[in-house]
Amino acid sequence: MKLISTEYMNNQKEIKQWECELALKDTEWNVVNIYPDVEYQTILGFGGAITESSGYVFSKLSPENRDKILSLCFTKEGNNYSIVRSHIDSCDFSLNNYSSISETEETGMETFSMERSGQYVLPLLRAAQEKRGESLEILLSPWSPPAFMKTNGERNHGGKLKPEFRAFYAEYLCRYINEYRKLGFHVTRITVQNEPEAVQIWDSCIFTAQEERDFVRDYLYPALVKNGLSDVKINIWDHNKERMYERAKTTIDKDTDRMISGIAFHWYTGDHFEAVSMTREAFPDKELIFTEGCVEYSRYDANQLLNAQKYAHDIIGNLNAGMNAFIDWNILLDTNGGPNHANNFCDAPIMADTENDTFEVKLSFDYIGHFSRYIKKGAKRIATTRYTDKLEVTAFKNPDETIVIVMLNRNEFDIPVNIRINGKLAEIAVAANSIVTGLI
């Protein structure tokens, strides 16, 4: 068994690999069991978001450093990202508010243009796809309809989509997807609205569960079919976990069940792994995709270890509850945690100093990699049991039958473990403040 460990001791990260033999012996103590014959959900992949802010920072770096960052994120030797989320028109991680259509009321799309996306978002997306060597799966999310379509007449501060613009807005979203596809980008999914119950000082719009259901049923899904986009999967909610179950129960009914492929969720209000599990049980055929999480400077400090552990704890909890895919927020930001037109700064796994043409790979990047590098697309989560709740554990069976086990120790002491699988044992110690991935 090959083991990869990232330890954080004395404020320094240490990455090491070693071999551990599986032997025919038995014990009842300190056991973590792995059961490859008990399978759960299938993994769709791991990834990060390409925002205008990420693209802008990327553009300010030297070609050499741009290539290094692309290799870190999108190659199989790096974090192996295969899924990307990006925004339709502006979000808070944009340089300012913008739409791809004139912000004056119109009934057609004569002014539609991808020029703004073409400045920073699409160049980074294209470079990422070229580095990957194959099409990335792209999920698009709107933060707000164009201002003239909204009840408050602006992109920011919530507001709602005016009823008379529902059909036109659905066509607008389809136009966006088709433009991406014409440029060679494989858009596979769309969410209806980012954080539909949050009134933000940046781009935002309110959709109740009933409004989201009706928009999908009467406007968005029919528009996708009409525009030859019936293969694009619709994911609802795209907000925090604590309300995802009741949102899904209201939005998915006998009419919309065939139209809605999954439920997207964020982490900002806490663990709520039980909500993910309840949603999985209620909707076993739907994909559950984590579409956004970041360490906000307004709520957390810059402690690298705590931030990295937050990522791993949430990924393990969500995976064990039934998550199919994980998409981090910005793949790259500047040293201020931006740019962000609302000053909503946050941490990112890679932070760049554009003035000095340098970048820092945070510990959170390595922790995400313990999952994204080794759990392959098409992997099945498999059953585990553990002897202590001080150790967080998840395990998977890859399409090539390789077994992957990830263990997180957030304590100040080592934890002894006897990994048991198919009658064989491997004895290891999971070091204090470390994450370990084992390949069998």
Indicate the domain borders of the chain. 2-40+382-439, 45-374
Cα–Cα nearest to 95, from 334, 356, 358: 334
* 46 in Cβ contact with 367 (< 8 Å): no
Burial 221-236 (b: 16+ CB within 10 A, else e): bebbeebebeebbbbb
Separation of alpha carbons 38 and 384, rounded Å = 9
Of 249, 277, 276, 250, the C-alpha closest to 264 is: 276
378 φ, ψ (degrees, to nearest 5):
90, -5
Residue located via tokens 């599986």: 22
Separation between Cα atoms, residue 182 and residue 118, nearest integer Å: 13
> What number of H helices and E strands is found in the chain?
10, 20
Q: Is 145 helix (H, G, I), strand (E, B) or coil?
A: coil
Helix (H, G, I), strand (E, B) or coil at 19: strand
Q: Is the dihedral of CA 59, 62, 68, 72 positive or negative?
A: negative
Q: What is the SS3 assignment for 340? A: coil
- Give pLDDT tens digits along the chain (440 positions): 999 999 887 778 899 899 999 999 889 999 999 999 999 999 999 999 999 999 999 999 999 999 999 999 999 999 999 999 999 999 999 999 999 998 787 778 999 999 999 999 999 999 999 999 999 999 999 999 999 999 999 999 999 999 999 999 999 999 999 999 999 999 999 999 999 999 999 999 999 999 999 999 999 999 999 999 999 999 999 999 999 999 999 999 999 999 999 999 999 999 999 999 999 999 999 999 999 999 998 877 779 999 999 999 999 999 999 999 999 999 999 999 999 999 999 999 999 999 999 999 999 999 999 999 999 999 999 999 999 999 999 999 999 999 999 999 999 999 999 999 999 999 999 999 999 999 99
The whole-number pLDDT of residue 12 equals: 81
Q: What is the pLDDT at residue 25?
A: 85
Distance CA 404, CA 435 (A): 13
**How far is the C-alpha of 382 from the C-alpha of 53, rounded, in Å?**
38
**Residue for token digits 């693209």?**
55
Predicted pLDDT at 299? 77
Distance CA 355, CA 352 (A): 9
> 389 CB contacts (<8 Å, ≥6 apart)?
none
Task: Give the distance, in angstroms, between the CA of residue 51 and the centroid of all CA atoms in the same chain.
Answer: 13
> The pTM is what?
0.97
By DSSP bridging, strand 31-42 and strand 415-421 are parallel
**Cα–chain center distance at 407:** 20
Chain CA centroid to CA 32, Å:
28
Query: Please, are residues 243 and 215 in contact by the beta-carbon 8 Å criterion?
Result: no
434: β partners: 7, 409
Architecture of domain 2-40+382-439: Sandwich (2.60)
Strand partners, 344: none
Phi, psi for residue 66 in degrees, rounded to 5: -60, -45
Look at residues 253, 235, 380, 384 and name the one whose alpha carbon lies nearest to residue 322. 380
> For position 32, what pLDDT does the model report?
98
Cβ contacts of 64 within 8 Å, gap of 6 or more = none
CA distances from 299 to 143, 253, 346, 413 (A): 22, 37, 9, 28
The label of the residue with tokens 């294209």 reads 126
Dist. CA 240–CA 271, nearest whole Å: 10
Strand 403-409 to 434-439 pairing: antiparallel
Alpha helices in 50-116 (DSSP H): 52-59, 63-74
3-state secondary structure of 112: coil
Question: Same topology for domains 2-40+382-439 and 45-374, yes or no?
Answer: no
Beta carbons within 8 Å of 329's beta carbon, 6+ residues apart: 48, 49, 93, 292, 293, 294, 346, 348
Contact between residue 314 and residue 293 where contact means Cβ atoms under 8 Å apart: yes
Closest-CA residue to 406 (of 363, 436, 372): 436
CATH architecture of 45-374: Alpha-Beta Barrel (3.20)
